[in-house]
Amino acid sequence: MESHNEQPLVKWSAPQCPYTVEYAASTLDDIRLAVMDAFFSLPRGGAEIGGILLGYFRDGGLRILDYRPLDCEHATGPSFTLSERDRARLAELLAEAAKGPPERQPVGWYHSHTRSEIFLSEADREIHLQYFLQPWQTALVLRPHIFHPAKAAFFFRNADGSMGEEVADREFVLEALAVRPAPNSQSAAAGEPVPEPPARVQSEAPAITPTPMARSPFAAPANELPDEQQPSIPKFLETPAAGGSRHAVLKLAILGGCLAVAGAAFQTRALWLPRVAALYRHSEQPPPLFLGLNAIDLAGQLQIRWDRNSPAVRQAAEGLLVILDGNAPHANELDAAHLQAGVFTYARRTERVDITLSARLPDGRLVREATSFLGRPPDPASAAGNAELRKTQEDFAKQAAKLKSDLKAQTERTRTLEKSMAAVQKQLKDQQSRRMLNQEAGK
């Protein structure tokens, strides 16, 4: 392990921070690499990770020289939300680190945010205030990105003991360091110093050699291109020099043989192409299945959504949605139609709701995703309004049921009257027929 005096240190400070922070560039680069690796491990945001920071605090300055990752079990989903086992593991990790040398003591912790901006949530502040009691211990939050460098920010206690939330004046970019060469075994054994990698030099845009491509209908004619961009003529098409006719004939013979083999392969493609395609299909790895589970709050109503167009949802025959709101879990069985709807509305009662969605495929495989919602407790007035709305809806439903029953009874009465009228009409018609017959008989 490198000693702290051999590592280049980067200084960080903020106007509100009562101390300065110096960190080993290689240490934060290793953390950044671990965060990026977890970021690309899962679709739609990856997994969040964290751990503790090691170093020392002396003369109003905090130095971060090393770190230890915390193996989070992600019981509630890909976010870095600590379960009871994770908290016990964190306490053990801190106790073990406290037994180390004075320059490798716990000085804070770090974790990544992959689905939100850089900030400290209520759960993050609760973790910091419970496990990191010293006023100079810090919290480092990292935010990875696909197309841009990762960003980070340090958080610290305010004068009143609370954790600061402002991030605009403390956010910084974590640029990737140059690749550090592995130390030579012989030099290391002899005690010779390992040469440092050369510093990166910012230069202008590098020269790029264009790759020949198929001619575009929008490209300029070849004779209008600069000389350095003119396509080179293959040597075997150049005019042979005097005395080089034998080499030209040999090259043409080889070219003709290659063309003959290619023509034969094209003519017999119906024989070998299906086998090659089958081998390629069998060698391909199936894409990972996902559900795209997420949750948002709308006035106390939790909108639980998932991607109804994902292959897992489209193929699933049944599913199970488990909602943990407080201490009692709510299990909701979903058929294929409800799964393909892609949404479930739930009136939450507490500030934290843990959600797990499982979908069973026809072949018996089970696809499961979990997520959590953390926000302010529902407004009692809003809850009362929702209860009143539900009561009104129930009253309307009862009235509709009564009207439906009355309509059914009225329909039965109408049918009875129609039958009675038909019977009376038949009697009148029979009487009229008999009367006419009697009249004709009297004549």
User: 23 near 32, Cβ under 8 Å?
Assistant: no
Cα angle, residue 65 at apex, residues 62 and 71 outer, rounded to 5°: 110
pLDDT, tens only, 84-126 = 999 999 999 999 999 999 999 999 999 999 888 888 888 888 8
What is the sign of the dihedral through the CA atoms of 232, 236, 239 and 242? positive
Cα angle, residue 436 at apex, residues 433 and 437 outer, rounded to 5°: 85
**Which pLDDT does position 156 carry in this prediction?**
86
- The Cα–Cα gap between 389 and 382 comes to 10
User: 54 near 104, Cβ under 8 Å?
Assistant: yes
**Which pLDDT does position 203 carry in this prediction?**
39
Token pair listed for 95: 């106790």
- The Cα–Cα gap between 394 and 400 comes to 10
- The Cα–Cα gap between 440 and 149 comes to 112
Per-domain boundaries in the chain: 4-179, 294-374
CATH number for 4-179: choose from 3.40.50.2300, 3.40.140.10, 3.90.1150.10, 3.40.50.300: 3.40.140.10
Which residues of the chain carry a pLDDT beneath 50?
A: 1-5, 182-191, 194, 197-225, 229, 231-243, 280, 283
**Which pLDDT does position 24 carry in this prediction?**
92
**Which pLDDT does position 5 carry in this prediction?**
46
Q: How far apart are the first and last CA of the chain?
A: 136
Residue range 294-374 forms a domain whose CATH class is mainly beta
Residues 324-353 as b or e (16 or more Cβ within 10 Å = b): bbeeeeeeeebeeeebeebebebebeeebb
Token pair listed for 333: 């069985």
**Which pLDDT does position 199 carry in this prediction?**
46
**Which pLDDT does position 222 carry in this prediction?**
43
Q: Which residues contact 70 (CB under 8 A, 6 or more apart)?
A: 49, 50, 51, 52, 86, 89, 90, 93, 109
**Which pLDDT does position 13 carry in this prediction?**
82
**Which pLDDT does position 180 carry in this prediction?**
58
